[in-house]
């Protein structure tokens, strides 16, 4: 072989130009690596999803006539990627190593160390051919350590790629954003309409056995069959199912939460994030398919399709830009000086707070929670209770099947924890129990009383919310989106204010008991 091409576990893009030609002198390396499996404690279903997707990708490449070196943990043992690469280049007298641009800073640093050596082989990084926004344009659109708003970026992307834009160059339907049509609660009568999610049933017993044999630590519920998509065909099937069954209500119930049905964990969400992040499917293709479905199906209105396009063309590309422009500084940010430990129920779901128990419980069961659960339930709780952002990041990075640092970190540290002081969010996403009651049915069967603020049974979020708002008043009162909230606080008498703050302190001091 003259060339080694390295494929990472999140670079399973069969449409990459690498694979357009067959060259018997090119060897493709794809491997399970101990350091990748352990840099954070991953959910067991996430480990299985990546390992199985890697295995299937290697098989498909071989079937297509490429030369493939597929290594499992049994072959690589404790070796790093660098060690695996060098042992192969020596073994085969390889002159040239090609790498696809990685999405994570950690891996790019490893690659830079390789590419700056002057030895043989020569290292070369090529594009991963996945995102819509070219990597080299990130510095033009994003500014380090400065707020850049998603909405602004998203409009540019709509125009640039001519997505949902009419003949006059205006947004289709007359509005750029239908966010305010995305806030419906699920009523009891809506629950029976929620379609059962499309779940795959991939046998992963051999992977569970291997993961255990190599003593890879993990969290969450192990299942012998994996429900996540692991090939591009799976991803296409999941996308087709989404367009037909879920898109008609996607925007409408995007922010809703329930624990009243067996489909509560996924609702109308696409669950395409793993397939997208592993690059089994391209964002361009997902957007195109969803827009075709909208054009062909009169049950899908503009608010549904726009809400979906915004997530992928807007948020997903935006957080990638924010990540790269702010790394490595992003991972040091702690603007609110949060220093407490993550409570132990994040690892077992055992809390009396129904909202938290539901979001954490389903995360442990499925390696998945939808956006509002991540942002407004677990994220909000961590922010109000001042959990150290590093610990919050580790939890999110480990538990979700779709968690890769480039997308996890800006969402967690930035959007949900406000630890970047507002680069991403124009205000902290802080919420009391009334938000939970408005958007979910969690409060109905909760141990705590959502209407109460100070009693022993009062919803902890109520007092914690006010403690947070009062503590950061100087900073937040200037913000026009929240300044007026302080009027509600000031109206209360001192005894009430004191009781609320006292209850909040009790909750913080006894956080493990909540």
Give the residue, chosen from 105, 153, 396, 435, that forms a contact with ligand FAD under the rule CB under 6 A.
396
Site string for ligand FAD, 347-386 (x = CB under 6 A): -----------------------xx--xx---x-------
For the range 355-362, what are the long-range contacts, defined as Cβ-Cβ under 8 Å and sequence gap of 24 or more?
355/257, 355/436, 355/440, 355/442, 355/443, 355/446, 355/461, 356/381, 358/257, 358/259, 358/264, 358/442, 359/257, 362/264, 362/265
Give the residue, chosen from 239, 256, 312, 359, that forms a contact with ligand FAD under the rule CB under 6 A.
312
Tally Cβ neighbours within 10 Å of residue 159.
Answer: 13
The DSSP line for 349-379 is ---S-HHHHHHHHHHHHHS---HHIIIIIII
Q: What minimum distance in Å lies between the beta carbon of 103 and ligand FAD?
A: 11
- Contact residues for 163 (Cβ-Cβ < 8 A; gap 6+): 157, 287, 291, 309, 313
Give the rounded distance of the alpha carbon of 372 from its chain centre: 11
Tally Cβ neighbours within 10 Å of residue 455.
Answer: 11
CB-nearer residue toward ligand FAD: 56 or 316: 316
In 3D space, the residue among 348, 385, 355 whose CA is nearest the CA of residue 373 turns out to be: 355
Cross-strand pairs, 458 = 449
Q: How many of the chain's residues bind ligand FAD (CB under 6 A)?
A: 27
Q: What minimum distance in Å lies between the beta carbon of 369 and ligand FAD?
A: 7
- The answer, yes or no, to whether the previous bond of 328 is cis (omega within 30 of 0) is yes
Q: What minimum distance in Å lies between the beta carbon of 13 and ligand FAD?
A: 15
DSSP 321: H
Q: Which range of residues in 84-92, 214-222, 348-356, 401-409 is near ligand FAD by CB under 6 A? A: 401-409
Q: Which range of residues in 14-22, 220-228, 408-416, 459-467 is near ligand FAD by CB under 6 A? A: 408-416
Is residue 100 a contact residue for ligand FAD (CB under 6 A)? no
Q: What minimum distance in Å lies between the beta carbon of 250 and ligand FAD?
A: 7
CB-nearer residue toward ligand FAD: 359 or 446: 359
CB-nearer residue toward ligand FAD: 1 or 315: 315
Q: What minimum distance in Å lies between the beta carbon of 83 and ligand FAD?
A: 28
Q: What minimum distance in Å lies between the beta carbon of 141 and ligand FAD?
A: 16
Is residue 105 a contact residue for ligand FAD (CB under 6 A)? no
Burial degree of 332 (CB within 10 A; 0-12, 13-18, 19+): exposed
What phi and psi, each to the nearest 5 degrees, are found at residue 264? -60, -30
CB-nearer residue toward ligand FAD: 89 or 273: 273
In 3D space, the residue among 351, 45, 1 whose CA is nearest the CA of residue 207 turns out to be: 45
Give the residue, chosen from 3, 128, 311, 440, that forms a contact with ligand FAD under the rule CB under 6 A.
311
Give the residue, chosen from 52, 403, 459, 504, that forms a contact with ligand FAD under the rule CB under 6 A.
403
367 vs 15: CA distance, rounded Å: 27
Site string for ligand FAD, 413-452 (x = CB under 6 A): --xx------------------------------------
148 vs 140: CA distance, rounded Å: 12
Is residue 88 a contact residue for ligand FAD (CB under 6 A)? no
CB-nearer residue toward ligand FAD: 56 or 130: 130
Containing 5, the helix (H) or strand (E) segment is strand 3-7
Q: What separation in angstroms does the CA of 300 have from each of 167, 230, 271, 304, 393?
A: 21, 28, 19, 6, 36
Which residues, 257 to 296, sit near ligand FAD by CB under 6 A?
269-273, 276-277
CB-nearer residue toward ligand FAD: 2 or 106: 106
Q: What minimum distance in Å lies between the beta carbon of 509 and ligand FAD?
A: 26
CB-nearer residue toward ligand FAD: 18 or 228: 228
Q: What minimum distance in Å lies between the beta carbon of 305 and ligand FAD?
A: 12
CB-nearer residue toward ligand FAD: 417 or 458: 417
CB-nearer residue toward ligand FAD: 290 or 469: 290
The DSSP line for 419-447 is TTSSSS-SS-----HHHHHHHBSTGGG-S
**Interface with ligand FAD by CB under 6 A: which residues?**
269-273, 276-277, 311-312, 315-316, 319, 370-371, 374-375, 379, 396, 400, 402-403, 407-408, 411-412, 415-416
């Amino acid at each position: 072989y003259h060339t080694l091409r390295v494929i990472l576990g999140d670079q399973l893009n069969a449409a990459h130009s690498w694979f357009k030609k067959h060259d018997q002198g090119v060897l493709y390396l794809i491997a399970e690596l101990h350091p990748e499996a352990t840099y954070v404690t991953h959910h067991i279903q996430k480990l299985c999803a990546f390992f199985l997707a890697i295995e299937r990708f290697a098989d498909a490449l071989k079937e297509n006539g490429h030369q493939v070196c597929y290594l499992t943990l049994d072959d690589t043992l404790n070796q790093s990627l660098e060690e695996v690469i060098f042992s192969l280049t020596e073994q085969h007298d390889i002159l040239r190593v090609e790498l696809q641009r990685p999405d994570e800073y950690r891996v790019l640093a490893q690659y830079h160390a390789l590419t700056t050596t002057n030895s043989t082989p020569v290292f070369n990084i090529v594009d991963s051919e996945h995102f819509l926004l070219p990597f080299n344009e990130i510095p033009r659109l994003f500014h380090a350590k400065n707020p850049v708003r998603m909405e602004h970026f998203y409009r540019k992307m709509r125009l640039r790629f001519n997505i949902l834009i009419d003949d006059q160059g205006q947004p289709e339907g007359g509005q750029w954003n239908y966010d305010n049509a995305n806030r419906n609660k699920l009523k009891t009568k809506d629950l029976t309409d929620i379609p059962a999610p499309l779940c795959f049933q991939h046998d992963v017993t051999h992977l569970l056995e291997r993961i255990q044999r190599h003593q890879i630590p993990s969290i969450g519920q192990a299942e012998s069959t994996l429900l996540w998509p692991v090939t591009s065909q799976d991803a296409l099937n999941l996308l087709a199912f989404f367009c037909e069954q879920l898109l008609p209500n996607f925007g409408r119930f995007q922010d809703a939460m329930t624990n009243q049905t067996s489909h509560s964990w996924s609702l109308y969400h696409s669950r395409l994030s793993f397939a997208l992040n592993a690059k089994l499917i391209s964002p361009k293709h997902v957007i195109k398919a969803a827009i075709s479905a909208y054009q062909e199906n009169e049950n899908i209105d503009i608010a549904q399709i726009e809400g979906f396009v915004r997530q992928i063309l807007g948020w997903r590309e935006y957080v990638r830009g924010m990540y790269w422009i702010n790394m490595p500084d992003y991972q040091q940010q702690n603007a609110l000086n949060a220093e407490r430990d993550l409570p132990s129920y994040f690892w077992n779901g055992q809390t009396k707070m129904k909202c938290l128990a539901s979001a954490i419980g389903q995360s442990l069961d499925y390696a998945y929670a939808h956006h509002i659960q991540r942002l407004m339930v677990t994220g909000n709780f961590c922010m109000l209770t001042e959990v150290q952002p590093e610990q919050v990041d580790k939890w999110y990075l480990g538990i979700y099947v779709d968690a890769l640092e480039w997308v996890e970190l800006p969402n967690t540290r930035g959007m949900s924890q406000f630890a970047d002081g507002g680069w991403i969010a124009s205000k902290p996403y802080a919420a009391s129990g009334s938000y939970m009651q408005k958007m979910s049915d969690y409060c109905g069967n909760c141990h705590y009383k959502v209407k109460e603020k100070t009693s022993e049974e009062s919803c902890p979020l109520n007092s914690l919310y006010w403690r947070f708002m009062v503590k950061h008043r100087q900073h937040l009162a200037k913000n026009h989106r929240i300044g007026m909230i302080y009027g509600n606080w000031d109206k209360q008498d001192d005894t009430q204010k004191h009781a609320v703050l006292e209850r909040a302190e009790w909750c913080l001091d006894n956080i493990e008991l909540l």
